[in-house]
Amino acid sequence: MIHPSVEAFGLAAALLALGAALVHRLRLPPLPAYLLVGLALGGRLEVEALEPLPSLGLLLLLFSVGLEFGPDRLGQLSHRVLRAGVWDALALPLGTGLGLLAGLEWRGALLLGGILYVSSSAVIVKLILDLRRATYPESEVVLGVLVFEDLVVAALLVLLGPEVGSGLLGGVGLALAYWVVARRLGPLLSRAVEGFSDELVLLTGAAMVGGSAALFHVLGASEGIGAFLCGVVAAGLGLRERLERLFGPVRDLGVALFFLTVGAQALGLLQGAGWLAASLAALGLLLKLPLNLRGAREAGLSPKRQHYAALYLIPRGEFNLILGALALEQGYTLVAQVAVMLVLASIPLGSLLMRYAPDWLGRSRRPGSSEVQRVGRSG
């Protein structure tokens, strides 16, 4: 007799493929379709039967973000990108203030601030690549801001974990250890793994991701941060391209299932949501726009590209859901509802705005070869 998980997987994969095919014809990214498929299924699909693929997909997504922002690229952040990141980061205290005004205590307010602040590195990077805009000047600034955000939220997750004392010390200690390995031992270890077969690299990478996530979880820190830092270390070992190629298909499958489960579980969480949650989610969409416009101006972008950069940072995703899950575990249902609302609204909206911004704001000129080289060197 066939196992129920196989039936659930087959149904989910078929519906996801149908949704992806429809949006492909419209030349749109597939992530909004995955969410909508999950919403359409609602409680009719036993998402628990799909585990551990959705959880693995999220870990591999954060691992891929770490690969993109390895120690070499983290070290290349220019002062102008950092200025843009500082302006963007003002959304964190502003969002925290909104939480306090909504009656939350400091921990819940800080979780809400993080949810309203952080954009989705994974979603935005994928959109930039899908839309072939990696060489555009605004993309350089946006990617730098995303690095800044991920580092801030990594510290926030350690601070707001279930065991603040041991989690904070253990998480900071492990993060420093991972950073030392990536920066100091990278060249030595990279020579050792050059001769590894693809199969050995794949299995070693999987063991690193799973082991790092489990280690951070045991210490009371976020397993997602463990996966992220594992990607930073792997990039420092010179494995970025090989691991992206080897893990890419598995990650994409897991990510599709992860966002499907988010959509399927969202209906139950949103049934008790009221006007306050909806208002906070709407404010979260608007909060960062003026900050990102000012940050893009400080980064030296033209007025048109300032608007592009601000629109690129609309989508929320993986870290917002992680913070929302943490809020739900700690009894802040309102914060979790805002996180889910923000993700469900921002990914389709951000995808459309990124796709059609050049048409609505005036088609931009593709950078010349010298500009492409400059942006490529900046990472």
Q: What DSSP letter does each residue of 108-165 carry, written as one string?
A: HHHHHHHHHH---HHHHHHHHHHTT-TTSHHHHHHHHHHHHHHHHHHHHHHHTSSSHH
Alpha-carbon distance 123 to 121, whole Å? 6
**Which pLDDT band holds residue 369 (cuts at 50, 70, 90)?**
very low
Instruction: State which amino acid sits at residue 187.
Output: P
- Asked whether the predicted pLDDT for residue 72 surpasses 70, the reply is no
127 token code pair: 């959109």
For the packed helices 240-270 and 53-68, what is the interaxial angle rounded to 10 degrees?
A: 130
Question: Can you give the length of the chain in residues?
Answer: 379
- Closest by Cα among 254, 155, 248 to 205: 248
Q: What is the pLDDT of residues 205-233, one digit of tens each?
A: 889 888 888 887 777 666 777 787 788 77
C-alpha–C-alpha distance, residues 119 and 317, integer Å: 7
Return the CATH number of the domain spanning residue range 53-378: 1.20.1530.20
- Among 92-96, 122-126, 186-190, 328-332, whose mean pLDDT is lowest? 186-190
pLDDT tens digit sequence for 36-68: 888 777 767 777 778 888 888 888 887 887 777
pTM, entire model? 0.70
Hey, where are the domains in the chain?
53-378
Asked whether the beta carbons of 315 and 351 are under 8 A apart, the reply is yes
Given this model, what pLDDT does residue 81 score?
79
Q: What is the pLDDT of residue 186?
A: 63
Mention every residue, 6+ apart, whose C-beta is less than 8 A from residue 258: 54, 55, 57, 58, 61
* Selected residue with higher pLDDT from 183 and 317: 317
